[in-house]
Amino acid sequence: MNFDQAKEEFIQAWGTLGTSWGINKTMAQIFALLLITPDKLSVEDIMKELSISRGNASMNLRALMDWNLIEKTSKKGERKEFFHSDSDVWELCRKVAEERKNREIKPIMRVLQHVSQLDNTQSSEAREFRRVTKELTEVVKTVDQALTHFIQSDRSWVSKTILSIVKKKK
Fold of 3-85: Arc Repressor Mutant, subunit A (1.10.10)
Q: Does residue 147 register a pLDDT over 70?
A: yes
Q: Does residue 29 register a pLDDT over 70?
A: yes
Average confidence (pLDDT) over 115-119: 84
Smallest Cα–Cα separation from 69: which of 43, 103, 35, 39?
Answer: 35
pLDDT at 158: 62
Residue 170 confidence class, pLDDT cut points 50, 70, 90: low
pLDDT at 163: 60
CB 158 within 8 A of CB 150: yes
Q: Is the dihedral of CA 151, 161, 22, 113 positive or negative?
A: negative
- Compare 78 and 9 and report the one with higher pLDDT: 9
pLDDT at 118: 79
- Compare 37 and 118 and report the one with higher pLDDT: 37
pLDDT at 39: 93
pLDDT at 159: 63
**CA pair distance 81, 74, nearest whole angstrom:** 5
Inter-CA distances, 131 with 36, 118, 144, Å = 47, 12, 20
Q: Does residue 157 register a pLDDT over 80?
A: no
Question: Which pTM value belongs to this model?
Answer: 0.75
Burial of 46 (0-12, 13-18, 19+ CB in 10 A): buried
pLDDT at 44: 97
Average confidence (pLDDT) over 18-40: 91
